[in-house]
Amino acid sequence: MTAATQEKLEFQTEVKQLLNLMIHSLYSNKEIFLRELISNSSDAIDKARYESLTNVDVLGDDKTFRIRVSMDKDAKILRITDNGVGMTRQELIQNIGTIASSGTKKFMEKVTGDQKKDMSLIGQFGVGFYSVFMVADKVVLTTKRLGSDETAMRWESTGDGSYTLEAAEKNDRGTELEIHIKEDEKEFLEEYRVRSIIRKYSEYITHPIILMAKEDDKEEGKDKDAKAAKEEVLNGKPPIWRRSKNDITKDQYEEFFKHLTFDQEAPLAWSHNQVEGAMEYTTLLYVPGKAPYDLYQPEKQNGLNLYVKRVFIMNDCKELVPSYLRFVRGIVDSEDLPLNVSREILQKNAVIQKINKASAKKVLQLLETMAKEDKDKYRAFWKEFGNVMKEGFHMNWENLDELKRLVRFESSKTKAEDYVGLEEYVPRMQSGQKDIYFITGENRQAVEHSPHLEVFKSKDIEVLFLIDPIDEWVMQTLTEFDGKKLVNVTKGDLDLGDLSKDEKKTQKEAQSKYKTFMKDFEEKSGDFLKEVRVTSRLKESPCCLVADEQDMGANMERILKMANQKVTASKRILEINPDHAITQSLLRMYENDAANPKLKDWYLLLVDQALLAEGSEIKDPAGYVAKVNSFLTEVLAKG
């Protein structure tokens, strides 16, 4: 492509939609465009510095990184220049013209029309560059890629849905943005305004941000209207994590979090630690208030920013924190790693493994403090991140005790989306209660009305509601707490000890009375049932299905089937309530005529009802309806 050649290209559809939103928005917080563009420049410098770690000569004579900002009021142009990595022609198209790396599509899906919320999404989804069109009627970008022989490129757009590309004259690496400010946005050409925005949002950028300000020339003999350029560094403070905790205010910690994450909400908590001794490193770890959109996409998970001796190495370093704590944001600055450390090295590095373990401990301690001192804040945290934390039960055995204290569930004594911890459950146990009880199910409504809870309701015994799919896997590890066994109320032969003396006596008396009836029930129900037995757990229902102690429960079977896993269904146990009118009537029918063909229909009807009550599918819905209609017709005919 020659300098005289200009190519016109169209933005991708989603980018056009985003540009339209930006250009025609009425957002009041338009100043964030400057934060976004300076952050982009900072990222470009970080990439250049990282590439230079293995080849310092690639920088040539220009080894001092910087970002320059200048204003030309007469031409109504704001300029931002960096000597970062720059872009090739193809990178320009990928990074600005399409959604390949911008997250534009995800952003557009999240836009709600709430201006404040939409603005907070801009940085999170990496669409910050486009925010410049809130204040600009034209943007010109000139860039040259570090270490590339490709000619510099000039990109230009008015935000009308297309852009042009052409070769440009630029010999040094980096990018220059020429922002043509709209007539009604000229405040962004005022030095005081630009200075205040940069200090507000970009104070903790690790590279110098230089404002090319102007001042009256006071020298005698010169035209008093002449102006002389003055370089003013706006971010001269050392990185916040390198400063003493006593010198940092709450507002400063929160502002750094917003700078780091582009989140407009303050973090819930943070932990700032400086470790010295055999290893030296600093961590500043934050617990956000809201979950990111990709929290459950581990391949896209966020990590911590890694620095070595204050030199930025990489962001989203997943090796620095366990996967179940992937919501944690922050930085690690190590004195013991080589500057040219790679991701391959990180995976096996002993220093990284120690930092990972120590970071996990610090975060868990931070959460334990939050849970004890501010239950409302911890409830908010658990609502956002609880299911991710539960992954730790299969990933982090050494912190199992901490996870047991931190885990939360809804229960029969909490409202929806309110939670109880095991440390709270234990003191609320009934006198004589020896176990902690739980029930698994698809949702709160399903478990709340389960017949398995009837005896617990009658005795005011609290039952934990495990209604998230991951809970089934959690309970494979979470088998005891504080010396007490966790018991699934839908499995095994229920034993409430001294709390069920009367029920157990009735159950024992009914065993012999119903013995042959239960044998007949079992034989005529096909091969679905393993056993039919009298129970003490029912108060209102005629029967319920339970799994044997070592068998897979109905909820786990349902989850695996939904995940298209091949499941070999276990035979179930049907427990009958000897005090229920239906059970007693069927016993009389059996004693009067054990060969009565209607008995089998009644047995199968009760099995289907038990399946429906637990939220499972029945094999023959049409057959079930036919049986119900037949019995209803018979009853109504007698009436």
Percent of the chain beyond pLDDT 70? 90
Average pLDDT for 377-388: 95
Residues 433, 496 contacting (CB under 8 angstroms): yes
Give CA–CA dist 22/41, Å, rounded: 21
Neighbours of 575 (CB within 10 A): 24
Q: Which amino acid is at 97?
A: G
**DSSP output for 461-518:** --EEEE-STTHHHHHHH--EETTEEEEETTBS----GGGGHHHHHHHHHHHHHTHHHH
The pLDDT, as a whole number, for residue 215 is: 59
Q: Is 316 helix (H, G, I), strand (E, B) or coil?
A: strand
Residue 386 pLDDT > 60: yes
The pLDDT, as a whole number, for residue 219 is: 45
The pLDDT, as a whole number, for residue 277 is: 86
The pLDDT, as a whole number, for residue 54 is: 81
Range 6-218+227-233: architecture per CATH: 2-Layer Sandwich (3.30)
Residues 131, 159 contacting (CB under 8 angstroms): no
Residue 179 pLDDT > 50: yes
Residue 205 pLDDT > 70: yes
pLDDT-based confidence at residue 221 (cuts at 50, 70, 90): very low
The pLDDT, as a whole number, for residue 580 is: 95
Q: Is 583 helix (H, G, I), strand (E, B) or coil?
A: helix
Q: Tell me how far CA of residue 469 lies from CA of 404, 558, 564, 610, 611, in angstroms.
A: 18, 10, 14, 22, 19
Average pLDDT for 33-60: 88
- 83-92, 101-110, 377-386: which range is least confident on average? 101-110
Percent of the chain beyond pLDDT 90? 57
The pLDDT, as a whole number, for residue 639 is: 66
Residue 174 pLDDT > 70: yes
Of 125 and 230, the one with more pLDDT: 230
Residue 104 pLDDT > 80: no
Domain ranges of the chain: 6-218+227-233, 240-369, 499-638
Per-residue DSSP letter, 149: -
- Between the two ends of the chain, the Cα-to-Cα distance in Å is 94
Task: Output b/e per residue, 10-26; b: 16+ Cβ within 10 A.
Answer: ebbebbbbbbebbbeee
Per-residue DSSP letter, 1: -
Query: Which CATH fold would you assign to the domain 499-638?
Result: Four Helix Bundle (Hemerythrin (Met), subunit A) (1.20.120)
Structure-token match 């037949």, residue found: 630
Strands 209-216 and 67-72: what pairing? parallel
Mean pLDDT of the chain: 87
Give CA–CA dist 444/43, Å, rounded: 46
Residue 123 pLDDT > 70: no
The pLDDT, as a whole number, for residue 4 is: 56
Of 115 and 440, the one with more pLDDT: 440
Average pLDDT for 289-310: 79
Neighbours of 365 (CB within 10 A): 12
The pLDDT, as a whole number, for residue 100 is: 42
Residues 268, 299 contacting (CB under 8 angstroms): no
Q: Tell me how far CA of residue 457 lies from CA of 290, 367, 449, 539, 615, in angstroms.
A: 36, 33, 11, 9, 20
Residue 464 pLDDT > 50: yes
- Nearest Cα to Cα of residue 538 among 509, 569, 576, 498: 576
Strands 484-488 and 436-440: what pairing? parallel
The pLDDT, as a whole number, for residue 460 is: 94
Residue 3 pLDDT > 50: no
Residue 226 pLDDT > 50: no
**DSSP output for 375-404:** HHHHHHHHHHHHHHHHGGGGT-GGGHHHHH
Q: Taking the mean position of all CA atoms in its chain, how far away is CA 216?
A: 53
Q: In the structure encoding, which two tokens stand for residue 221, read together?
A: 């003999």
The pLDDT, as a whole number, for residue 96 is: 81
H helices present in 53-149, as ranges: 89-92, 104-110, 115-124
Residues 328, 304 contacting (CB under 8 angstroms): yes
Residue 266 pLDDT > 90: yes
The pLDDT, as a whole number, for residue 594 is: 94
pLDDT-based confidence at residue 103 (cuts at 50, 70, 90): low
CATH no., domain 240-369: 3.30.230.80
Q: What's 184-239 look like in SS3?
A: HHHHHHCHHHHHHHHHHHCCCCCCCEEEEEEEECCCCCCCCCCEEEEEEECCCCCC
Average pLDDT for 87-113: 67
What's this model's pTM, rounded to 2 decimal places? Answer: 0.72
Give CA–CA dist 443/465, Å, rounded: 9
Residues 383, 417 contacting (CB under 8 angstroms): yes
- Nearest Cα to Cα of residue 398 among 458, 358, 431: 358
pLDDT by residue (tens digit) across 493-538? Answer: 888 877 777 778 888 889 889 999 999 999 998 888 999 999 988 9
The pLDDT, as a whole number, for residue 616 is: 87
- 124-138, 260-274, 310-324: which range is least confident on average? 124-138
Per-residue DSSP letter, 96: I
H helices present in 69-132, as ranges: 89-92, 104-110, 115-124
The pLDDT, as a whole number, for residue 311 is: 72
Structure-token match 């009735």, residue found: 506
